Amino acid sequence: MAEERSSGSKRSKQVVLDLGRRFEKRGGTLVGKILTGKKLNVPTVVSMIKKGWQLDEEVDVHDLDRNHLVFLFRFDNSDDYARILKGRPWSIQGHLLNLQIWEDFMVLKDVDFRYAPFWLQFHGLPLEAFDGSNAKILGDAVGETVMYEKPVVDGKLVRSFIRVRALLLLDAPLTTGFWVPRKDKDPVWVTVRYERLQNFCYRCGRIGHKSCGCKDVNASNGDVDDSDFGNWLSTPMVRTFEDILEVCKEKWEEAEFVGKKNQNFRFRRNLMPAEKDTQVGKKLLQEEYSPEEYSPEQSDLENWNDWNSRVYTQLPADTLESEGLWPWP
């Protein structure tokens, strides 16, 4: 009855309120939902989030939800806000904290928590695949591409894999990889790695619960050896080369903060380990090298997978870490 009355009044009544801003404009506001079926201790969660973020200035945290899984974060400092926004996905105790922008005049039910942005890495691609349009296709095969790092700059490969920022539909299973057809060769299996992916279900491949809490009746029986899913899908976040980002999604919010900091672009150094190893590496590093001169020979392409697997394993871990490349999956 109450519902009837209220929906009736929804049709007929409008109350105009003064929605003048009562809050002073701060660094920015985000809203975050923790994806878990578990009960979490709010003070612990809030202090862990604050500690993990290492902010320069204060953030106000408000609990918005009866189940204590949705929080509003009001940042004092806009650099803090931008860094947390760009650093998504964040996790708390292994559970995804799905952060979204809180806009003026918003209410909680306006927020779309169905999607979250992740950085994806595509490994095992032939050299010929390294270009921007393919990066977008790869991201769209897994989610919706919002931006990508140009795979080749000035004729040089930036990384040994293609890196794409994509919105993932959290209700869908993660994509582990796919076959890519090649001319005169067998199709090649391309693997997908998810940066900063934490708890997810090894049975159905979804984020938000673990295998023991899986309710998907069609999922595999949970035999880890047999599963398509495992912790190998996750990889640490590498440093983003902001100077070479290409934005695909109109008004993508993170794009506004891209390139304002960390201008020193050093992608060439990433190729250093290859120098003494393979013909591919040598060619990429030649100072006099120019794109027109480079046409990979068959032997180079055969070396490619070998190079992929060896290139980062021969440097000490601290060097790799400083290059943002550790660990190799």
Contacts with Zn ion by CB under 5 A lie at: 201, 203-204, 214, 216
Supply the minimum distance, in Å, between the C-beta of residue 199 and Zn ion: 11
Supply the minimum distance, in Å, between the C-beta of residue 197 and Zn ion: 14
Supply the minimum distance, in Å, between the C-beta of residue 261 and Zn ion: 38
Residue 208 neighbours by CB distance under 10 Å: 17
Q: Tell me 127's DSSP state.
A: G
Supply the minimum distance, in Å, between the C-beta of residue 202 and Zn ion: 8
Of the pair 157, 201, the CB lying nearest Zn ion is at 201
Supply the minimum distance, in Å, between the C-beta of residue 209 and Zn ion: 6
Of the pair 204, 248, the CB lying nearest Zn ion is at 204
Measured between alpha carbons, how far is 254 from 143 in angstroms, rounded to an integer? 17
Q: Which residues contact 144 (CB under 8 A, 6 or more apart)?
A: 115, 166, 167, 249
Residue 117 neighbours by CB distance under 10 Å: 24
Supply the minimum distance, in Å, between the C-beta of residue 14 and Zn ion: 44
Measured between alpha carbons, how far is 329 from 283 in angstroms, rounded to an integer? 25
| 36 neighbors 69 (Cβ within 8 angstroms) | yes
Measured between alpha carbons, how far is 99 from 107 in angstroms, rounded to an integer? 15
Supply the minimum distance, in Å, between the C-beta of residue 262 and Zn ion: 37
Measured between alpha carbons, how far is 126 from 307 in angstroms, rounded to an integer? 12
Supply the minimum distance, in Å, between the C-beta of residue 175 and Zn ion: 15
Measured between alpha carbons, how far is 19 from 68 in angstroms, rounded to an integer? 27
Measured between alpha carbons, how far is 247 from 257 in angstroms, rounded to an integer? 12
- Residue 105, sorted as left (phi over 0), alpha (psi -120 to 50) or beta, turns out to be left
Helix (H, G, I), strand (E, B) or coil at 181: strand
Of the pair 140, 171, the CB lying nearest Zn ion is at 171
Of 13, 68, 73, 59, whose CA–CA distance to 39 is shortest? 68
Where would I find the beta strands (DSSP E) of the chain?
28-34, 59-63, 70-75, 90-92, 95-101, 115-123, 144-149, 152-153, 156-157, 162-169, 177-182, 185-195, 234-235, 245-247
Helix (H, G, I), strand (E, B) or coil at 272: helix
| 100 neighbors 64 (Cβ within 8 angstroms) | no
Of the pair 69, 201, the CB lying nearest Zn ion is at 201
Of the pair 64, 214, the CB lying nearest Zn ion is at 214
Of the pair 38, 182, the CB lying nearest Zn ion is at 38
Of the pair 108, 169, the CB lying nearest Zn ion is at 169
Of the pair 165, 203, the CB lying nearest Zn ion is at 203
